[in-house]
Amino acid sequence: MSQNRCSGIANGTKEWQVGVVSNPFREDLVSRNRPEACTVVIFGATGDLTHRKLIPALYNQAADGELPAGVKIIGFARRDWTDEFFREGLEKLNREVSRTGHDEVVWASLAPNIEYHQSEFQDDDGYRRLAERLDAIDQERGGKGNRLFYVASAPEYFDDILLHLKKAGLSDEREGCWSRVIVEKPFGTTLATAQHLNEVVNGTFEEKDTYRIDHYLGKETAQNIMVLRFANAIFEPMWNKQFIDHVQITCAEHLGMEGGRGGYYDKAGALRDMVQNHLLQLLSLVAMEPPTDLSADGVRDEKVKVIRSLRQWDTPELVAENVTRGQYTSGNINGKEVPGYCEEDRVDPESETEAFVAVRCMIDTWRWSGVPFYVRVGKRLPKKATEISIHFKETPSVLFNAAPGGVPDGNVLVIRIQPDEGISFRINSKLPGTTLRMEPVKMDFHYSSSFGKSSPEAYERLLLDAMAGDATLFARRDEVEEAWRFVDNIENAWHESDNPPPMAEFPAGSWGPKEADEMLKSEGRKWRRL
């Protein structure tokens, strides 16, 4: 396995990366809790998430020298597989999807620490045997060991898994070691179901040992939002209603319902699937106040204040005014004809589920009063991209009234979450020549070119943080419930009222329904083209 890249700092030497401005007097700025060796038990280990994300993430940590020595991985699932068959499937996918490529030496070191445990999720005996297996692993280490349980199964099994972990004593605190649980999304489908799941989780693990994962928060650019705001004096003084006209958060997806996803998506929809978790989390990072410190609760205290301050759209009239939902019809994506949403595999032909949603969010705080945050997400849009754009107010144009073409639009700060992670800032500049003509120009920062290496995958960072006991990038119970409270009001207006707002339509390959454009146009604004 490769040497730990952080070893220079750990040994007291200073191995600063070329091209990064570093401060040798502030080594505490790069300090973090160290991940601890543990046994990772993955429930739902035969699924796509384990094969395409979790095991490659652990492999890449090993390749980068970040994975603690002695980590064991146990896949828990219902299929009658052997350890060898399980490893072979994981290796095959790792060769295809690993961020760092596939190194035979690294895999040969990791593979013997991967095992498979066959059991039904409701089988008491399966958990008893798991407990015995974990005890045996701990004895090999010379005593008690740490345990990280990852619930990556289908959501209908969350309760069964958690309750059986408690019944088998696997969630009990043990002196000198820890037991933690990571719970995948969706964390509930309504406020009521989220509250129920929170009761089950907190009846099994303490809140400090509960990690509700949102992989968007593990993306490098999402983590950089706080640094951009609070470590750069030019931005924070202008980060308020005096200087910012509005904010846009866009998550565009060019795919539809490939891979049998229609069965899940038609029950969830864009609002539940993306806005409730990923996009409201990004919104809270953009809008939060400076935390008192960088502890997990210091950051999450400020994030939940933002979500609590969202103005509630709690009547059909308010929802119709501030929310647009839509379905795509047949169209063309990159030269390929694609079907409409209701024609997709496993989608009800009479479906009333939205594949596109745009929401005008208003945050009723002193900092953001009157500043709209426009959030949109959709399937079958022209390209795949997620970004946040901060649109600053325009300058008075009195100086340039006579200039040909006038003054271009105001300054825009763009935070690209995926796929091309980075930050750009649009400013206005004079074109070369004898006349005064202005054009917008862009200052652009790319993670890959600026730091000379690719950013870690989100799950890599989040798994390490869970091993280190750092919950900063995980959702807390109150965050989840407040987000569902906001979303439930909209869902109720769509599905429970006598006069629901209409479902708009747009051709696949376009940027969404005209109703979403009109929502901004009525206020003198327009969506930014990605």
**At 441, is the secondary structure helix, strand, or coil?**
strand
Q: State how far the alpha carbon of 443 is from the alpha carbons of 365, 413, 424, 436, 461, in Å.
A: 31, 10, 5, 21, 28
- Within 10 angstroms of residue 71's Cβ, the number of other Cβ atoms is 22
CB 91 within 8 A of CB 111: yes
Q: What are phi and psi of 426, to 5 degrees?
A: -95, 125
Strands laid side by side in the 147-151 sheet: 114-118, 72-77, 39-43, 147-151, 179-183, 210-212
Dihedral (CA of 507, 418, 363, 272) sign: positive
360: which 2 tokens?
């005008």
Strand partners, 179: 147
372 closest CA partner among 382, 364, 381, 362? 362
CA–CA separation, 313 vs 271, rounded Å?
14
Q: State how far the alpha carbon of 432 is from the alpha carbons of 44, 395, 399, 439, 457, in Å.
A: 61, 22, 19, 10, 42
Residue 474 CA, chain-centre distance (Å), reads: 9
Q: What's the burial of 200, exposed, middle or buried (CB within 10 Å: 0-12/13-18/19+)?
A: middle
DSSP codes of every residue in 410-440: --EEEEEEESS-EEEEEEEEEPSSSS--EEE
359 closest CA partner among 501, 170, 208? 501
Lookup result for tokens 């996918």:
93
Catalytic positions, written as ranges: 278
Lookup result for tokens 């060019």:
254
Q: What's the burial of 269, exposed, middle or buried (CB within 10 Å: 0-12/13-18/19+)?
A: buried
CA–CA separation, 284 vs 237, rounded Å?
18
CB 218 within 8 A of CB 470: no
- In sequence order, the 6+-apart residues with CB closer than 8 A to the CB of 378 are 251, 252, 253, 270, 326, 328, 355, 356, 357, 512
- Within 10 angstroms of residue 499's Cβ, the number of other Cβ atoms is 9
483 closest CA partner among 267, 200, 280, 286? 280
